[in-house]
Structure 1
């Protein structure tokens, strides 16, 4: 379990993490989201002792990482997949890690098999693709069979099969009672992987909640309507709290009324409907709404 309490990290005058508190619990996949520069990587680095907090604490199983007697067996982390000696083979890299933590050699073979590295285990890491490097980083994180996993952008560079594999791996590890802390910029994948979400923006926690609650609280449902008589439908459903938008495909997006109300109004006016469907909000929509004013680096859309 990871417990972060009032964590603050400053680099000179720059406040990277500002009084952050949240918990990553066993048996749960906790997703970690935020724009670039939000403080996610700094927070993860503080958990594993790579960054010393200016104030506050970041503990694993109730203790700072540096005080753990067998850290690789307690917490496995993928923070930078390229942090490997490029002249070593994947097998040698994992074997060296195992030797320093008194982990049996058999475990090296196990994680190589778990991560699909069998065919490249004896090849030098310097020749690995980005995706294979990610798999090696995950193998190293799993080496000590830890109860807590920290994975920073683990699907970066993976093909679709690899992305699905990471999702299933995270879910299966949580089902075994492990605490899984995972960051990603792929919202659709995070929605399928995580149980709980922590969102950061400009160094602060913006949300710490279940995905369903985040989506329900941050976004408003709309109803997609398609009709050959849009003007008549507009007259039938117009109201002070009703907003209607035109989509490029000819459909209407209606907010402020439910599908049942729109259907009843159309029926009473004898208006033909070709489509009437509630559009469920997505994690991506909720995230963008929540972080709209928290983006440090914003791109302009070309006109």
Structure 2
């Protein structure tokens, strides 16, 4: 478990993390989202003792990271896949880290196999591709068989098979009762992997809830209907709180009624429906809505247009 209470980090007059509170529970994958400059990396660095909070407190499994006698067995972390010694082989890199915690060579070989690095275990890390480096970073995070795992952009550089592997691995670790904190800018992948989200912007928590509740609260759901009797259907469903819009393809979008309610009213009125579908917002739409006013680095919509080559 990870708990943060009134956590603050300032660099001079710049407040990177502004008195945030959150809890990352075991048994589920928690996504950590926010625009560039939101404070995600600073927060993760404070969790694992790389940055000292200006004030407040953050604990992993009931203690501050630096208070654990064997931190690698408590929390596994991937913040920078390029941090490995480029002159060492993948096996020697993992073996040297394992030695600091009395972890044997058998576990090193186990995580190498788990990460799919058997064929390159003897190769120098400096020659690894970005995806191979990510796999090595994840293997390093799992080396101590920790109860808590923190991964920053773990699928960066991975091919589709690798992305699927990370997704399955994270969900499997959570199913074992471990605490998993996952940061990524890939909304589609986060939607398939995470159970819960913490969204921050400009150092403050903007949302902390299940994915379904965050999407429902930040977007609108409705019912898409196609019929040749549009006017009759619009009259049938008309009531206070119901909004009917005609879409570009001629279908109707109805908000304020569920698909079942629309179908019942159409049936009672004898209106034939050719299509009826429940619609809901996406995680990407919810994320953009939540962070719209919190983006620190924003490019111009017209930048580069008309540029000569």
Scaled by the length of structure 1, what TM-score is found?
0.92
Task: Report the equivalent of 1:30.
Answer: 30
Taking a change above 3 Å as real, the CA distance of residues 273 and 59 of structure 1, as seen in their structure-2 partners, is same
How far 1:87 sits from its partner (Å)?
2.1
Alpha-carbon separation, structure 1, partners of 2:116 and 2:34 = 30
How far 1:300 sits from its partner (Å)?
4.7
8 Å CA contact 2:19–2:204 kept in 1: the answer is yes
How far 1:161 sits from its partner (Å)?
1.3
Q: Which stretch of the first structure deviates more once superposed, 38-47 or 88-97?
A: 88-97
Task: Report the equivalent of 1:183.
Answer: 183
Alpha-carbon separation, structure 2, partners of 1:123 and 1:167 = 26
Alpha-carbon separation, structure 2, partners of 1:242 and 1:128 = 57
1:242-257 alignment, distance < 5 Å: 242-257=242-257
1:1-303 alignment, distance < 5 Å: 1-239=1-239, 241-267=241-267, 270-301=270-301
Secondary structure, aligned partner of 1:82: helix
How far 1:208 sits from its partner (Å)?
1.6
How far 1:160 sits from its partner (Å)?
1.5
Count of residue pairs brought into register by the alignment: 303
Alpha-carbon separation, structure 1, partners of 2:23 and 2:270 = 55
Instruction: Structure 1: state its 5+ residue gaps.
Output: none
C-alpha RMSD of matched pairs (Å): 2.1
Alpha-carbon separation, structure 2, partners of 1:228 and 1:114 = 56
Taking a change above 3 Å as real, the CA distance of residues 218 and 175 of structure 1, as seen in their structure-2 partners, is same
Scaled by the length of structure 2, what TM-score is found?
0.90
Secondary structure, aligned partner of 2:106: helix
Write the deviation string for residues 178-231 of structure 1: whole angstroms up to 9, x where unpaired.
Answer: 111111122222222222211111101112222232233333211111223445
Write the deviation string for residues 75-107 of structure 1: whole angstroms up to 9, x where unpaired.
Answer: 110001111222222111111111222210111
Alpha-carbon separation, structure 2, partners of 1:246 and 1:42 = 46
Q: Which stretch of the first structure deviates more once superposed, 106-115 or 194-203?
A: 194-203
How far 1:266 sits from its partner (Å)?
3.9
Alpha-carbon separation, structure 1, partners of 2:86 and 2:212 = 42
Alpha-carbon separation, structure 1, partners of 2:256 and 2:2 = 41
